[in-house]
Amino acid sequence: METVILKGRKDGFELMLADWADFDQVTADLEALLVQLNQDTSTERVEFSLESGNRLFDEAQAATITQIFDRFPRFTVRQLHSNVGPTAELKQRFLNQAIHLGGGIIRSGQRQAFNGDVLFSGTLHKDAVLEATGSVFVLGEIHGLVIAGSDGDASAVIVGDVSQATQIRIADSVDIIADRNVAGTSLSYVNDLHILEHGDAAQLKDLRPRLFRKMEEM
């Protein structure tokens, strides 16, 4: 089977580099193909888009491919695309999309942070902080500060009993709970006027349908 497949495109050529083949074989076949193309094509510059399928080239491999193309001044690589991403990046994406379970006791002066959404069933003491880049769902006791959308996500919500919290925040919006009467189980969210508002938890389905479906799948 061929390890390098050439496809013609309106804006240049696409090279499919087999992800199942040995890298040395791929580079050898790539160089041979470029030699042939250099002989057969005109003197105009040619751009290539490289597709590596389910193989992610490391820095050394990417440098090797660059060196091959450097031998052919008329040929340039417009992009190198893969169906997969770096492990760290994929792990971070997974963490941001996951719903984490938080419990235990967060004591005064302590801070517990989560990437993504969190379902908290523990106890948050006064002067303690619970924060998440996503939404916070409260099943436990809250007496301190709760922060949702800590990275600036104003679509995040806080659901549950925050009536005893000192303060809650969603993105840049802040509400001091001690100064108002908030029902036991509520939905706190940032409305269209960028004001932190409290409503009934049953509104979650209508206000944040995607998040509601995500909770249903747990």
Residues spanned by the domain of 67: 4-85
Provide the number of structural domains found in the chain.
Answer: 2
**pLDDT tens column, 116-155:** 899 999 999 999 999 999 999 999 999 999 999 999 999 9
Domain finish residue from 85, 118, 134: 85
Report whether 54 contacts 84 (CB < 8 A): yes
**pLDDT tens column, 99-112:** 788 989 999 999 99
Looking up residue 111, the CATH number of its domain turns out to be: 2.160.20.70
Contacts of 180 (CB under 8 A, 6+ apart): none
- Cα–Cα dist 141/120, whole Å: 9
- Cα–Cα dist 164/181, whole Å: 10
Could you tell me the pTM of the whole model? 0.58
Looking up residue 14, the CATH number of its domain turns out to be: 3.30.750
**pLDDT tens column, 45-67:** 888 999 998 888 888 888 899 89
Q: Which is nearest to 165 in space by CA: 182, 136, 143, 188? A: 143
Please give the pLDDT value at position 142: 95
Same domain, 18 and 70: yes
The answer to whether residue 90 is domain-embedded is: no
Report whether 139 contacts 159 (CB < 8 A): no
CA distances from 194 to 50, 112, 113 (A): 44, 26, 24
